[in-house]
Amino acid sequence: MLKRAQALFSSSLTAAMLMAASSGAGASSSNDGGLGNLNMARGVTEVSQVAYDVHMLMMWICTVIGVLVFGFMFYVMYAHRKSKGVEAANFHEHLGVEIAWTVVPALILIVMAIPATSALLKVYDTDNADIDIKVTGYQWKWQYEYLGEGVKYMSELRTSLDEVYGREPKGEHYLREVTEPLVIPVDKKVRFLITGNDVIHSWWVPDFGVKRDAVPGLFTAAWARVNTPGTYVGECTELCGIGHAFMPVVVEVKTEDDYNAWLANKKDQAAIYASTVGKEWSVEELMEKGQKVYMRSCAGCHQPDGNGIAGVFPALNGSAIVNGPVKGHIAILINGVAGSAMQSFADQLSEVDLAAVIHYKRNAWDNAVGDVVQPVDILNFKIAQ
């Protein structure tokens, strides 16, 4: 019986060790989220790799200590068992033993503190960055702003609601795809200045070893220098409300040339967009654009048919505000509704997008206000405020 218990114990121990060893070797830089990937990712930055190495070192130190302590304990219990007639020793205050069990753990802790401290110093070394990007958490999306470049955009979930609610089969990148990823160049030190707009979010990219709370009113810095181009996926890791699972982080790391081309294109787009603010938009253009904006930024809460969800998200179809004076309607989008999930869109949507979505809602579904809302109306509202 005892033999069998011993065999069982040792075989489960080897199984556990084998598992630890194989998951260590199998940890690839790509986080596929599969069950085979039990260990943390080794990642593609200095910070993630140093964190991984410290993690593995600590794990092995703990494993060795565990095996020694439990092995000794089980051996003693077995070899000196009562049924063999062994009498328990009875002694108090053994100076040698007491010193040993104080000094040895203290030494082990000191040995562990050295690599841990040097890793922490790397994590917080955010000086001398080549590029600064402001990352803002919103309910439920991310905003990226390239400081000093005049480039700023929202990165929102691209997975359709039909997939979420099972009306369509789930796609390959289900809940791990966005409208526009964050783009950074290889081999450059990129500093992320992370903050929140409404509640606390947390920006996490496992392969970068970056995970920072995005707290309203506070900036925290993190950095990454990635040497392998590719697409890296993370998510929000601070429970931030009903859409918490729907704000993935997608980062595309491009070669320097590709990055520069992308940035130049982004700046051109911003310039073209700015010139459309003064343009007189036709009703058809507004409806078409408005529907796109609505589906992307509003339908998640107010539903594609504008009927909302009773008791949670009000219906916009037939709403008094939507069908009322245009000023009040613009105001709710610019200012949001304090203390509710209806946030301010002043900083998230351009004047063109705002005008289009407002116009769309006033003339979609059963609503038929019949007036026209232009981007300049939004601009004038903002200026007057």
Residues in contact with Cu ion by the rule CB under 5 A:
201, 236, 240
| 250 or 322: CB nearest ligand HEC | 322
| Angle, helices 326-335/375-384, rounded to nearest 10 degrees | 70
Q: Which residues contact 365 (CB under 8 A, 6 or more apart)?
A: 305, 306, 307, 316, 317, 318
User: Closest Cα partner for 226 from 248, 265, 195, 259?
Assistant: 259
Contact window for ligand HEC (CB under 6 A) among 40-48, 60-68, 162-170, 332-340: 332-340
Instruction: Among 183, 205, 247, 357, indicate the residue that binds ligand HEC (CB under 6 A).
Output: 357
Q: Is 49 exposed, middle or buried (0-12, 13-18, 19+ CB in 10 A)?
A: middle
Q: Per rule CB under 6 A, is residue 342 in the interface with ligand HEC?
A: yes
- The β-bridge relationship of strands 151-155 and 230-236 is unpaired
* Minimum distance of ligand HEC from residue 298's CB (angstroms): 3
Question: 142, 240 in Cβ contact below 8 A?
Answer: no
CB of 106 to ligand HEC, least distance (A): 52
Q: Which of 39, 307 has the CB closer to ligand HEC?
A: 307
| Integer angstrom CA distances of residue 200 from 96, 130, 132, 258 | 52, 27, 21, 33
Is residue 314 part of the contact set for ligand HEC (CB under 6 A)?
Answer: yes
222 phi and psi angles, rounded to 5 deg: -145, 165
By the rule CB under 6 A, 139 interacts with ligand HEC: yes
Which of ligand HEC, Cu ion, none does residue 322 bind to, with CB < 5 to 8 Å depending on kind? Answer: ligand HEC
Residue 280, class by beta-carbon neighbours within 10 Å (0-12 exposed, 13-18 middle, 19+ buried)? exposed
> Binding of ligand HEC at residue 319 (CB under 6 A)?
yes
**How many chain residues are in contact with ligand HEC, going by CB under 6 A?**
22
Q: Closest CB to ligand HEC among 206 and 300?
A: 300
Binding site for ligand HEC (CB under 6 A): 139, 297-298, 300-302, 313-314, 316, 319-322, 332-333, 337, 340-342, 345, 357, 361
